[in-house]
Structure 1
């Protein structure tokens, strides 16, 4: 059931609903932004190998990417508030397990559980706004939600660095517990329940399971191959590819698939998702290696390393809306071509970050140029994905694009250490890290440039028709495109974690 007419944004209840949704999504966003800062300290404390640190990041991304579309469908069927609350509680309990993990194996398992909670929580936060507010206020509610999420993005690295330097890395997970309690109380008290009464049919559980297993198989093969080739690597790689093929066959035959393959009949939708894979893969790879480089090679304290690239977030908060408006006037080709190329230039400037790096002369310029490229790119990328399909399918198109971004990050973090020759405990050796970082920078810059070239060749230069053109107004993070699976979300292109 939808809320009759909807509540108004400027009412007291409306403000509480926005706060509950923003705190919920912000909790997951904050967690994602601080874990990379903590990786060197997690490794030292738990005696973890580089592969274990990769899994600390990827276990979360694996379950999140595989289940996020299913999570949105569960909310539509069984109640968006109910599923959102389950996601909040699940995420909090998994965070508590992360905080007390005695070994890196337990930490990795807990991070996978966090991803399941995130798959229920992340799409639910935006779906609550869509279902709860009056149609005239939905864009404003999403904008307010997005702005609050931007605050979480900006504060996250600073808070994470402070916690790692002070109380310790476990506190980045403890922090989620009081936030989750606050979100649950606000949601129970102020957020009305809603569901899609027309949602019928079976859930695509086989598709979700096959997607997660396929990604898991390929990720395991890439991660373990860095330690040397083995029969387990070969079996995992083959199994992952076969499961991926099985997933496509299931999606083609399922009446209500998690991934409607018909979306890819749009040449533009297919092309922009390939650009998404290149851009978000490079972004995740850079951020994974950058924190290790700053702390192990440059000798930055976690607090300084955490806020080193704050200019990226600041630029996106200030100028992403204008970037979306520019794309509406000129067409998406210009920003989708220039954005990745400028970001690639920013990545190449990171080659200046070495053993004696100075923040203002070596790190800050790279952050500004990289942030300028992402600011020019992210909003038009999201808008173009939504404009590539019929308006009624905008929600699922956005969800697919988000899943593509998560999968790209997952595979990048798994593959880059293999491609750069970093393995074992070498992440503690400055010379080994520095060499691997420079190779990773070149690979990521190449991926961004390839994304820009692909956009130049495939994306139209003229603005999309007005009837299907999304309102590219609000963006607050670069972690992934927006998620609202199964929902048309007029005027909403806000970023989510």
Structure 2
């Protein structure tokens, strides 16, 4: 009788967030069914399986999903900050290592390349094997390589350790996000992502503000010691508190798509390197042209493979869903505007407005990531109240307006106008990021959350590199730039913002019932 009553009550229960779920009667459910692991593996669950195990009791608590989010955010804080602070200290690092800034720029580019290539592959691997295990491996690699960078005594060693940290981030990022999203119900995912972005974006802003002071006092190696230690703390919390994501079904794919992984990785690497070499070697360089030609060939090969293979890396039919493809296109285009404006704004402040001190430049530029981070929870609440499409369209309009203000800044040479433009860019991404990521997650099956977040992050990486390189190419080379030199890059940014706005209309405003999963 008790078992029959429990089966009746559990039919309306939300097993993703575990809210409102009745406790199972003794011996009424198998350990494999109750365990957070899809196969009931006690090692992947982090402890003994079964309804009386520590892992089962932890996962069953209503607040456990917030523990998962908080644990992942510790590592996100470290991963999102190092590159920003290193960029500001690149000249000091080059002097100490007797290298050039151009060479050491690869210490910043290498992690982006690793993340762009590895995200979908490692996300799928977590979907098939164990998201928790993959996350722990990724955090351990990031912590080891970040700490190892403090011991680097050559530019090659620093670049290698930074690339290794990028691999660790590529492993941890999609699986950490998939674990967070797996524990939150669909209607709560935007809210969780809002807090995720608040930490992920304000952390680099804090690092930019405090990093200079820290490096001046303790040296640039302290950057890697401190953030490596934070990652170790995050790893300890993950070992103690994270359990495998509950899954209502086994993953559809049972093997790794090697051919698809190679072709997608080749396409991503060729595109990102080709765009990077445009500014360094020129558009007519044989190497640049070869890479840019290889990228679409590898991409087409990837699509052909995915259409015919039994266990594809990415299920292509997801791209026919507007809630999946719309945010991908919009966020890619938005990053062309956002990152293009970011990379040339310091040059504008220095060459046109006469700002020579780095502290004054960073004091203005910090407005954008701060408004981004602070607006992220607001964007999540807007998504819950007004729907994803309205929130995304509003944010996209803000991005287009910010690009137009940047254009006006080049003719009026107005610092207040520039400040408003920077703040509106941050406000835009703060509003749209959570709805975009939640829409992607809600458009796929629970068993594909890892690879979905990986593809989404790859779109971000490609948009970032494209925005930076296209803006620098449009700006041109000059010892000192005039205000008119900045017109073309900001117009390109405005076109990217317009494409972002158009793609935002593909999202849906349909609200889901509270018990939907």
- TM-score for both structures, normalised by structure 2: 0.73
Q: Does 1:450 align with 2:499?
A: yes
Q: Offset of 1:117 from its aligned partner?
A: 0.5
SS at match of 2:59: coil
Aligned to 1:249, the other structure's residue is in SS state helix
Is the Cα–Cα contact under 8 Å of residues 128 and 255 in structure 2 kept in the other structure? Answer: no
Matched, 1:440 2:489: yes
Cα distance change on mapping 1:159 and 1:300 into 2, 3 Å: farther
Q: What pairs up with 1:75-90 in 2 under 5 angstroms?
A: 75-90=126-141
Conserved 8 A contact 2:127-2:449: no
CA distance in 2, matches of 1:146, 1:412: 21
- Pairing 1:91-490 to 2, within 5 Å after superposition: 91-129=142-180, 148-149=199-200, 152-192=203-243, 198-199=250-251, 201-226=254-279, 227-228=281-282, 229-267=284-322, 269-291=324-346, 293-294=348-349, 298-299=354-355, 301-327=357-383, 330-350=386-406, 361=416, 363-386=418-441, 396-422=451-477, 429=479, 431-432=480-481, 438-455=487-504, 458-459=505-506, 463-466=509-512
Shift of 1:213: 2.0
**Aligned residues: CA RMSD:** 4.1
Which one has a bigger Cα radius of gyration? 2
5+ residue gaps, structure 2? 1-34, 37-54
d(CA) in 2 for partners of 1:100, 1:432? 38
Asked if structure 1 preserves the Cα contact closer than 8 Å seen for 2:88 and 2:212, the reply is yes
Kept after mapping to 2: 8 A contact 1:76/1:195: no
Deviation at residue 178 of structure 1 after TM alignment: 1.2
Q: Is the 8 A contact 1:223 1:418 kept in 2?
A: no
Post-superposition shift, 1:160?
A: 2.8
Aligned to 1:477: none
Distance verdict in 2 for CA 1:454–1:78, change over 3 Å: closer
User: How far is the alpha carbon of 1:313 from its aligned partner?
Assistant: 4.1
Q: Aligned pairs, how many?
A: 458
What displacement does 1:121 show? 1.5
Deviates more, 1:306-315 or 1:293-302: 293-302
8 Å contact 1:22–1:148 — kept in the other structure? yes
1:382 and 1:134 map into 2 onto residues whose CA distance is 14
- In 1, Cα distance between the equivalents of 2:217 and 2:409? 25
- Of 114-123 and 331-340, more deviation after overlay is shown by 331-340
Q: Deviations over 1:440-469 (max 9, x none)?
A: 3332233112322444xx536x72252599
More displaced, 334-343 or 99-108? 99-108
Give 3-state SS (helix, strand or coil) of 1:466's partner: coil
Distance 1:162 1:251 in 2: 50
Structure 1 residue 263: deviation in Å? 0.9
How far did 1:217 drift?
1.8
Q: CA deviation at 1:125?
A: 2.6
Q: Is the 8 A contact 1:37 1:306 kept in 2?
A: no
Partner of 1:487: none
Q: Secondary structure at the match of 2:223?
A: helix
> Which ranges of structure 1 fall in alignment gaps of 5 or more residues?
471-489, 491-497
